[in-house]
Amino acid sequence: MNFREPLPGALFRSAQPFASCWPGALEQLRGVRSIVDFRGAAERVPGEWDLVPGCAVHHLPLDVTGVIPPMETAADLGAFYVRMAEGAAAVIAEAAEIVAFRGPVLVHCAAGKDRTGLFVALLLDLRGVPRQEIVADYVATAAALPDIFRELASGHASVTALNDGAAGEAGVEALRERLAKIPPPLLQAPAEAITAFLDGIGSRHGGAEKFLLRCGVSPAAIAAIRD
């Protein structure tokens, strides 16, 4: 779900694995050597990726467990992405090294929107992909969000933490209540958010390449991703 290929043959992105999507997902993932999972431990289910043969799974939590700041606009969401990226330098560096040298790679989080979105945007910007194409890749997630939220609300095991341990109908209601408290921009994939993120990385760090180097990505990995 929410599956696409922003760098053909090298980098794939998606939401978390849902059982209802396995038949198609297995075919799509043929040839992928590494999976980078940005979710925290409480979001995961043991053995989720066991059906994918010959694939190394790297759990690299890009932590979003802190207090979510108030957000009213898409620009606020983009600023939040900047803070997320700045606070996860080591994770971003390790994930970038995997993309550079252990590909093809699938990267994902829960919805495949926020954590995955900012990471993919950085790599596409590094590659010199036109801004409008980076934005289009991010915005494409919007079409998948209703199905993703429906799957989450169905009581999928990996969101029991999000649902405070509830499942079934109780889990559905718990998730609805929690979603109602989440700032609206976090439930969307607006173009202005990823534009504000890239603008913020540019103004604060001088662009994707300088930011990734400061995160600890090696020059060799930068060159490999760019090529």
pLDDT computed for residue 159 by the predictor: 43
Q: Which residue would you say has higher pLDDT here, 186 or 125?
A: 125
- Cα–Cα distance measured from residue 121 to residue 134, given in angstroms and rounded to the nearest whole number: 6
- Cα–Cα distance measured from residue 194 to residue 6, given in angstroms and rounded to the nearest whole number: 15
- C-alpha pair distances (Å), 194 with each of 81, 99, 111, 121: 8, 21, 16, 8
Residue type, 27: E
Give the pairing of strands 11-14 and 105-108.
parallel
Q: For the chain, what are the domain ranges?
A: 4-226
- Cα–Cα distance measured from residue 107 to residue 142, given in angstroms and rounded to the nearest whole number: 18
Q: Which residue would you say has higher pLDDT here, 47 or 37?
A: 37
pLDDT at 222 over 80: yes
Structure confidence by residue, pLDDT tens digits, 88-117 = 999 999 999 999 999 999 999 999 999 999
CATH code: domain 4-226 is: 3.90.190.10
Structure confidence by residue, pLDDT tens digits, 130-183 = 999 999 999 999 999 988 888 877 654 444 444 444 445 565 566 666 666 778
CB 25, CB 102: distance < 8 Å: no
* Residue 34, strand partner residues: 56, 105
pLDDT computed for residue 170 by the predictor: 60
Q: pTM, whole model, 2 decimals?
A: 0.88
